[in-house]
Amino acid sequence: MSSTITVLGAGYVGLSTAALLAQAGFKVYLVEPNPSRLDTIKQGRSFFFESGLDPIIKLGIDSGSLLPTDSYEMGVPESDFVFSCVGTPDNPDGSSNLSYVYGAAETALRLMQPNAVYIQKSTVPVGTGKAIIDKFDVEPGRYVSNPEFLREGTALQDTLWFDRIVCGGSDETVLSRVVELYKALEAHRGDIASSAGIKAGTVTGSYITTDLNSAELIKVTANAFLALKISFANSIAKLSDAVDADINGIMDAVGADKRIGRAFLNAGRGYGGGCFPKDVSGLISSGLEHGIDLEIMQAAQQVNESMPGYVIEKLKDRLGGNLSGKKVAVLGLAFKKGTSDTRKSPGVKIANLLDTFGAEVLAYDPQALEEAKEDLRRSVVLHMSIEETLVDCDAVVLATDWEELVSSPAQIFADHLNSGAVVLDAVNAYKNYIDLENLGFDYTGIGR
């Protein structure tokens, strides 16, 4: 299949999608208005860290199959498919700001060939596709909702070895054409994974075609349910703390029931990132718009928002009821391991809260220092290594479970922390915490 594709927006989703499709034999234009991001991509690199992405961007640029540009006019008129992957930031009231989604649709739909297909990958509230079709007078069958399920840190593998590809629209033939694109990607996935230097996956996923509104709702429902699982685990973790039980063991046993499953039941400092917080508030807003009160999601959101404060209270308690003047190291500023993304990152929130309560805060992350700077209070001091960060600290908070941070902490802690320091594992990741206790540290997790 020798189709030409334009991808609008070079964020996590757009850049990964464009680089992968360029490796599957398509000619791919990638439209990105930000000049510095565009420049970085043209040099064959990503402007964020994502495992395996740089090598395939480079291959795409060198071979000419990946064509970054700031102009819609360059690729859209000759494209058979246009993927919209533009950002959907939060409005102050928690709903999604769709100005980029509408702006991209308006410009691209005006330039597209009559039978080209517009594919919405950005996460949008249910009803957005229908609104775009009405507003810009699009032939309904040419608009497809194809929500994205990739996780940052495993974006390429999730796309190549997907659980499901969902395509929603009203024209069966158009939906099949979109499915064919993904089948081409699937056919090349072994080669692409080895070019990217990532491990091949094992899942055999399914293709699901459905109507437009259902496709839009599938995406947010899936993320909201995962967020619900995490907040549920965190609620039980608080109870577990109160009765001196072990949340990791509890969730291992509960998750062993196949009907429940162990995934996304890890308690800790709560979820962050560009998706869960936004998708949960987006779903709540969609409910309200249609007179449906999604109280269960409001509860999940409240539990999540309480978690950084819960971490601080726990630490304060362990440090004798006062954080003022205490030297505290925060390890992990990315919202999860494997990414440099710090959007709505619990680690950043914890560092800022500690600073607000008068602690002297030192912080480290293997990848996210640069991105964290924007959201951290100015008095939080960033360091380039774990060792430097820990020197003479009264406490350390582990906020992201990077391998480097959890693999062998005991000796590093013994060499650098003050004796008897508090080790607050806010991601419940230290397996051998007995070693830390044997060295005289005061270890505690969340519900552990």
Catalytic residues: 275
Q: Please list, in sequence order, all residues whose beta carbon lies within 8 angstroms of the beta carbon of residue 275, skipping any fewer than 6 positions away.
A: 123, 223
Is residue 294 exposed (0-12), middle (13-18) or buried (19+ Cβ within 10 Å)? middle
Shortest distance, CB of residue 280 to ligand UDX, whole angstroms? 11
Shortest distance, CB of residue 210 to ligand UDX, whole angstroms? 17
Any contact of residue 445 with ligand UDX (CB under 6 A)? no
Residue among 121 and 177 whose Cβ is closer to ligand UDX:
121
Q: What are residue 50's DSSP bridge partners?
A: none
Q: Please list, in sequence order, all residues whose beta carbon lies within 8 angstroms of the beta carbon of residue 411, skipping any fewer than 6 positions away.
A: none
Q: Closest Cα partner for 121 from 143, 136, 140, 138?
A: 143
Q: How many CB atoms lie within 10 A of CB 423?
A: 24
Q: What are residue 81's DSSP bridge partners?
A: 5, 117
Binding mask 217-256 for ligand UDX (x = CB under 6 A): ------x--x---x--------------------------
Residue among 129 and 332 whose Cβ is closer to ligand UDX:
332
Q: Given the DSSP bridges, would you call strands 442-444 and 395-398 parallel, antiparallel or unpaired? A: unpaired
**Distance of alpha carbon 378 from alpha carbon 393, whole angstroms:** 19
Any contact of residue 148 with ligand UDX (CB under 6 A)? yes
Shortest distance, CB of residue 410 to ligand UDX, whole angstroms? 24
For 121, the token pair is: 């990958």
Sign of CA dihedral 149, 152, 158, 160: positive
Residue among 151 and 188 whose Cβ is closer to ligand UDX:
151
Binding mask 258-287 for ligand UDX (x = CB under 6 A): ------xxx-x--xxx-xx-----------
Q: Which stretch binds ligand UDX (CB under 6 A): 80-88, 144-152, 293-301, 319-327?
A: 144-152
Q: Closest Cα partner for 166 from 135, 112, 126, 120?
A: 120
Applying CB under 6 A, what is the total number of residues that bind ligand UDX? 19
Any contact of residue 150 with ligand UDX (CB under 6 A)? yes
Q: Please list, in sequence order, all residues whose beta carbon lies within 8 angstroms of the beta carbon of residue 358, skipping any fewer than 6 positions away.
A: 323, 324, 325
In the region spanning residues 362 to 401, those forming contacts with ligand UDX, defined by CB under 6 A, are none
Residue among 129 and 272 whose Cβ is closer to ligand UDX:
272
Shortest distance, CB of residue 365 to ligand UDX, whole angstroms? 13
Any contact of residue 80 with ligand UDX (CB under 6 A)? no
Residue among 272 and 409 whose Cβ is closer to ligand UDX:
272
For 119, the token pair is: 């594919």
Any contact of residue 161 with ligand UDX (CB under 6 A)? no
Q: Closest Cα partner for 270 from 372, 376, 347?
A: 347
For 308, the token pair is: 């950084």
Any contact of residue 151 with ligand UDX (CB under 6 A)? yes
For 63, the token pair is: 């071979």
Amino acid at 344: K
Shortest distance, CB of residue 340 to ligand UDX, whole angstroms? 12
Shortest distance, CB of residue 88 to ligand UDX, whole angstroms? 12
Footprint of ligand UDX (CB under 6 A): 148-152, 223, 226, 230, 264-266, 268, 271-273, 275-276, 335-336
